């Protein structure tokens, strides 16, 4: 019998990241994206409220979440491997590097997801396309890098205001 392992990151395992990526790829139908762009979009998908005038975030505003995007790469990459192996995403080698796009099976599969969370993922993916669809990978990296210390820092500021020791 296979050993069951406990997942310590319920929202950031390969399967969860892969499904979120599938929502993104579907929203950008016909447009191929690189891994780094998908990593940045995955962060923005669940923490959309971190962006000025963005919709409410889907995941909790945990302390130090600004650094999350740096650890997402491995999960998004493994999630993409799952999607490609199931023919839900296409992987192409170009002169600019490896790019991914949704296959013709992606949208029909996502139609089976009818939870509120899935609807919100679809809405956030459409928002990302509208807001950041024309942004270069460099623009996205700059956005996240410039805001990394701010996103999640509100907890530190609150600790200072409340006088909580150890959070200075």
Q: pTM of the prediction?
A: 0.81
Average pLDDT over residues 97-107: 97
pLDDT at 150 over 90: no
Q: Which backbone phi and psi does 61 adopt, to 5 degrees? A: -85, 75
pLDDT, greater one: 65 or 161:
65
Closest CA to 20 of 59, 64, 53: 59
Structure tokens at 118: 């899935």
What ranges do the domains of the chain cover?
14-162
pLDDT at 142 > cutoff 70:
yes
What was the pLDDT predicted at 10?
A: 53
Residue carrying structure tokens 């296959």:
103
Q: Name the packing angle between helices 137-147 and 35-46 (round to 10°).
A: 40
- pLDDT-based confidence at 91, cuts 50/70/90? very high
Band the pLDDT of 92: cuts 50, 70, 90: very high
- pLDDT for 149 equals 67
* Nearest-angstrom CA–CA distance, 71 and 5: 20
Lookup: tokens for 20? 């979120």
């Amino acid at each position: 019998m296979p050993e069951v392992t406990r997942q310590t990151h319920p929202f950031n395992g390969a399967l969860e990241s892969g499904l979120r990526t599938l929502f993104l790829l579907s929203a950008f139908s016909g447009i191929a994206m690189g891994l780094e762009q998908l990593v940045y979009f995955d962060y923005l998908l669940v923490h959309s409220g971190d962006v000025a005038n963005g919709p409410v975030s889907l995941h909790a505003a945990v302390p130090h979440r600004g650094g999350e995007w740096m650890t997402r790469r491995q999960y998004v990459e493994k999630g993409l491997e799952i999607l490609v192996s199931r023919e839900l995403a296409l992987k192409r080698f170009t002169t600019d590097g490896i790019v991914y796009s949704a296959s013709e099976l992606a949208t029909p599969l996502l139609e089976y997801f009818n939870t509120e969370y899935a609807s919100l993922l679809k809405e956030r993916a459409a928002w990302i396309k509208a807001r950041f669809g024309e942004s270069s990978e460099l623009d996205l990296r700059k956005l996240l890098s410039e805001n990394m210390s701010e996103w999640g820092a509100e907890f530190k500021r609150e600790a200072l205001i409340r006088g909580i020791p150890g959070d200075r």
